[in-house]
Amino acid sequence: MKKKQQDLKRLLFNIASLVDLGQEVTSAKGIDEKMKTALYVVTGMFSVPKAGLFVYNADRHKLELVTCKGIKDADGTSIDVQTKYIKAFQKNTPYNISEARNNSFYERNAEAFRRLQAKTLIPLFAKDEFVGAICLGKRLSRTSYLHSEKDTLKVVASQMAITLHNSSLFKKIKNQVNENKKLYQNMRHIYHDTIQAFAAAIDAKDVYTRNHSYRVARYAVAVARELRWKAKEVEGIYIAGLLHDIGKLIIDKGLLNKGETLSAAEIQEIKRHPQISYDILSKIKFPWKDVVDFVKHHHERIDGTGYPDELKDPDLSDGVKILAVADAFDAMTTKRTYRKKLSLFDALREVNKCLGTQFDNRISKVFFKVLQKEIKGEIKEAQILPHLDKDFDPTIITTLLESITAELSY
Amino acid sequence: MNNFSIALKSSNDLVVIMPKGYVNDLGAERLESTCEQFFNKGIRKVVINFSDMQYLNSIGASVFTGMVQKTLEYKGLLCFTNIKKIHLDVFNMLGITKHVKVFKEELEAINFLKGKK
Where does the pLDDT of residue B1 fall: very low under 50, low under 70, confident under 90, or very high at 90 and above? very low
Spatial neighbors of A90 by CB under 8 A, at least 6 apart, are A123
> H or E segment at A78?
strand A78-80
Burial of A213 by CB count in 10 Å (0-12 exposed, 13-18 middle, 19+ buried)? buried
- pLDDT tens digits, A171-228: 889 899 999 999 999 988 888 888 888 888 888 877 677 789 999 999 999 999 999 9
Report chain B residues whose CB lies below 8 A from the CB of A46.
Answer: 94
Domains, in order of start, for chain A? 2-175 (3.30.450.40), 205-343 (1.10.3210.10)
- Beta pairing partners, A95: A121
**What is the structure's pLDDT at A410?**
66
Strands B77-81 vs A95-96: parallel, antiparallel or unpaired: unpaired
A37 touches chain B (CB under 8 A): yes
A149 touches chain B (CB under 8 A): no
Distance from CA of A49 to the nearest CA of B (A): 5
- pLDDT tens digits, B44-56: 999 999 999 999 9
Mean pLDDT of A34-62: 93
Where does the pLDDT of residue A366 fall: very low under 50, low under 70, confident under 90, or very high at 90 and above? very high
A41 touches chain B (CB under 8 A): yes
**What is the structure's pLDDT at A101?**
63
- pLDDT tens digits, A250-290: 888 888 878 778 889 999 999 999 999 999 999 888 888 89
Q: Do A36 and B26 touch (CB under 8 A)?
A: yes
CB A169 within 8 A of CB A161: no
DSSP designation for A99: G
- pLDDT tens digits, A23-35: 888 887 888 888 8
Q: Do A44 and B61 touch (CB under 8 A)?
A: yes
- The residue among A56, A77, A81, A50 whose CA lies nearest residue A65 is A77
Mean pLDDT of A291-312: 96
Structure-derived torsion over alpha carbons of residues A381, A385, A387, A390, reported in degrees to the nearest 10: -140
Nearest to A45 among B26, B58, B69 (CB): B58
The residue in chain B having the minimum alpha-carbon distance to the alpha carbon of residue A42 is B58
Distance from CA of B66 to the nearest CA of A (A): 5
Nearest to A44 among B59, B89, B98 (CB): B59
Q: Do B95 and A17 touch (CB under 8 A)?
A: no
- pLDDT tens digits, A140-157: 988 888 888 889 999 999
**What is the structure's pLDDT at A206?**
74
Q: Do A13 and B93 touch (CB under 8 A)?
A: yes
Q: Which letter, b or e, does each residue of A345-366 get, where b requires 16 or more Cβ atoms within 10 Å of its Cβ?
A: eebbebbbebbeebbbeebbbb
> H or E segment at A118?
strand A118-126
Q: Do B26 and A40 touch (CB under 8 A)?
A: yes
Where does the pLDDT of residue B107 fall: very low under 50, low under 70, confident under 90, or very high at 90 and above? very high
pLDDT surpasses 70 at B2: no
**What is the structure's pLDDT at B53?**
94
A43 touches chain B (CB under 8 A): yes
Question: First-to-last CA distance in chain B?
Answer: 37
Report chain B residues whose CB lies below 8 A from the CB of A37.
Answer: 25-26, 59
Provide the percentage of residues in chain B whose pLDDT is more than 70: 97
- pLDDT tens digits, A329-362: 999 999 877 778 899 999 999 999 999 999 999 9
A151 touches chain B (CB under 8 A): no
A120 touches chain B (CB under 8 A): no
- pLDDT tens digits, A74-119: 888 899 988 888 888 888 888 888 776 667 888 888 888 888 889 9
Spatial neighbors of A352 by CB under 8 A, at least 6 apart, are A364, A404
CA–CA gap between residue A97 and residue A136 (Å, rounded) = 10
- Beta pairing partners, A126: A129
In whole angstroms, how far apart are CA A404 and each of A81, A323, A355, A368, B70? 78, 20, 11, 8, 79
DSSP A294-337: HHHTTT--TTS--SSS---GGGS-HHHHHHHHHHHHHHHHS-BT
CB A273 within 8 A of CB A251: yes
Residue A147 phi/psi, 5° resolution? Answer: -55, -45
User: Does the interface predicted TM-score (ipTM) exceed 0.85?
Assistant: yes
Q: Do B69 and A70 touch (CB under 8 A)?
A: yes
Chain B contact residues (CB < 8 Å to A): 24-26, 57-63, 65-66, 68-69, 89-90, 93-96, 98-99
Mean pLDDT of A2-9: 83
CA–CA gap between residue A79 and residue A54 (Å, rounded) = 9
Mean pLDDT of B93-117: 92
The average confidence (pLDDT) of chain A is: 90
Q: Best-predicted range by mean pLDDT among A195-199, A239-243, A403-407?
A: A239-243
Q: Is the pLDDT higher at B82 or at A262?
A: B82
Residue A182 has a CB neighbour count (10 Å cut-off) of 10
In whole angstroms, how far apart are CA B14 and each of B6, B17, B51, B83? 16, 10, 18, 19
Domains, in order of start, for chain B? 4-111 (3.30.750.24)
Report chain A residues whose CB lies below 8 A from the CB of B93.
Answer: 6, 9-10, 13
CB A404 within 8 A of CB A368: yes
CA–CA gap between residue A240 and residue A222 (Å, rounded) = 14
Report chain A residues whose CB lies below 8 A from the CB of B62.
Answer: 40-41, 43-44, 69
